[in-house]
Structure 1
Amino acid sequence: MQTITLFNLSVWQFIWIIIAAFVVGFSKTGISGFTMLVIPIIANVFGGKESTGVLLPMLLIGDIFAVCYYNRHADWNNIRKPLPWALVGLVLGSFVGNYINDKQFKILIAISVLTCLGILLYTEKKGDKFKVPKGAWFYILTGIASGFTSMIGNAAGPVLSIYLLAMGFKKNEFLGTYSWFFLIINLTKVPLQIFFWNNISLERIILACVMIPAITLGALLGIATIKKFNEKVFRTIIIVMTAIVAIRLFI
């Protein structure tokens, strides 16, 4: 198999990374659940824990695209509430990640996703009768779970999705708030993964930069696609993607 010398990857591995980069761009500006689909792709190329260091720089590039387009729709009140607790979750995840294997990574994430899916399905069933929790526990739990699952698997999207959908966010407000939250979280993860996990190198940063054209194409398609969905379809897609994520993580 021909190898791309700079990154020591086979041609097929490089193609899969291009696909992953495209999906990252699409998910950041379009349907957020699609981010989860690239996790097994990158994990198959680099391995579980190492894959988080490969994916993070690409996610950051996607976050920048999303923030540039949706920044005016962000609800900073609902970013500030869970954010300090998300930082707690990041630190917790950085320590736990040093003591668990790849299979345990997936099981922990899957349990978190399934719990959140149950909450989301309940809120959908209740409809207008659902009362958003007012207690601090709701955003504290969301923050810790988001930070923890983001750190150990870049898989916090479904967790924050449940929080924002439960708050009744419409499409643009959802994407604006979601984008800023994860830009901040992913920037915070960089020093943790460099100094605690040692899995972000200059080579991986260069690889992410090489993927900018693929991420850009995905981001443009995501912007064009999301405009075609109404609110009901948008919420349904988020729920379905969350369910797929949970099932996939157990396999």
Structure 2
Amino acid sequence: MVYTDIIIFGYVLDLPQLAMFLLVGVLIGMSKTGVSGANMIAVPILAIVFGGLKSSGLMLPILIMADFFGVSYYHRHAEYKYLWKLFPWAILGVMIGTYTGTHISDEVFRQIMGATIFTSLIVMVLLEKDKREKIPDFWWFTGFLGLLAGFTTMVGNLAGSIMALYLLSMRLPKNQFIGTAAWFFLGINLFKVPFHIWSWNSITVNSFLLDLILLPSVALGAFLGVKIVQKLPEKAFRGFIIIMTAVAAIFIMV
């Protein structure tokens, strides 16, 4: 079947590519209002349509739009003490990722990321089974995951699972989990913008204008995410996040 190409702000897309682009907006919106792991599916879809470097620059403004939806709904539930602990490490991770991002192959990055998530996931499952209330709130634990979150969000916009592992390990209830993650990613994604514009040259006026057409689909995804989370009790939510994190790790490695 032959599809007619559509030119939007200098980008040439056929109908299936446009449909995949709109789907990315829905998935990102869902991921920012509680459906953790949906963004892991969105990242490779966008890369299929636009390629690696272009998709990285296109993804960031979409994430920020979705972050604002997440913050606007869950802002009252954020646990700010965890944000202040994470931000310095994550900022360092972003700067390291900016420098090394162009020197790491996609294959090596995916394997390292997947292995790291799986290892952390095993630790998290063991913590879930441990009935004691001891929380691994050590500086090195926060530092390692904060650094990894900053690095992976800069290199591949793939820090959602890292943050899920950290916040679940802190035993946060679902609303506090989502609210804290929303504020974290809004802050760190805004911090990444200058690096994408002036260091990687991956965000342009045209790419930003193209992203703006996804605003309705991001809003739809955010609405769907809120509705899904509302129907999940606390225990089911934690199990859902663990399963989605495992699926995301498999998806990355494959």
Q: Could you say which TM-score interval applies, normalised by the shorter chain?
A: over 0.9
Report Cα offsets for 1:17-53 as digits up to 9, x if no partner: 1011011111111312211111111111112233111
2:4 to 2, 20, 26: 2
1:97 to 92, 101, 110: 101
Q: Say whether the 8 Å CA contact 1:112–1:145 is kept in structure 2.
A: no
The one-letter code of the counterpart of 1:116 is S
Report Cα offsets for 1:197-230 as digits up to 9, x if no partner: 1111111111111010111111111112210000
| Whole-Å separation in 2 of the counterparts to 1:30 and 1:249 | 20
Q: Say whether the 8 Å CA contact 1:116–1:158 is kept in structure 2.
A: no
Alignment of 1:23-102 (within 5 A): 23-102=27-106
| 1:231 correspondence with 2:234 | yes
TM-fit CA distance, 1:245? 1.2
Report Cα offsets for 1:120-144 as digits up to 9, x if no partner: 1121121x22522242101111110
- The CA RMSD measured in Å over matched residues stands at 1.2
| Whole-Å separation in 1 of the counterparts to 2:56 and 2:243 | 24
Q: Say whether the 8 Å CA contact 2:174–2:237 is kept in structure 1.
A: yes
| Whole-Å separation in 1 of the counterparts to 2:67 and 2:18 | 22
Stretches of structure 2 that go unaligned for 5 or more consecutive residues are none
TM-fit CA distance, 1:105? 2.7
Alignment of 1:165-244 (within 5 A): 165-244=168-247
SS of 1:169's equivalent in the other structure is coil
Stretches of structure 1 that go unaligned for 5 or more consecutive residues are none
| 1:109 correspondence with 2:113 | yes
SS of 1:5's equivalent in the other structure is strand
TM-fit CA distance, 1:112? 2.4
Normalised TM-score (structure 1): 0.96
Q: Say whether the 8 Å CA contact 1:25–1:222 is kept in structure 2.
A: yes
Tell me which stretches of 4 or more aligned residues in structure 1 moved more than 2 Å: none
The one-letter code of the counterpart of 1:248 is F
Structure 1, 115-124 or 102-111: larger mean CA deviation: 102-111
- Identity score, percent: 40
The one-letter code of the counterpart of 1:129 is R
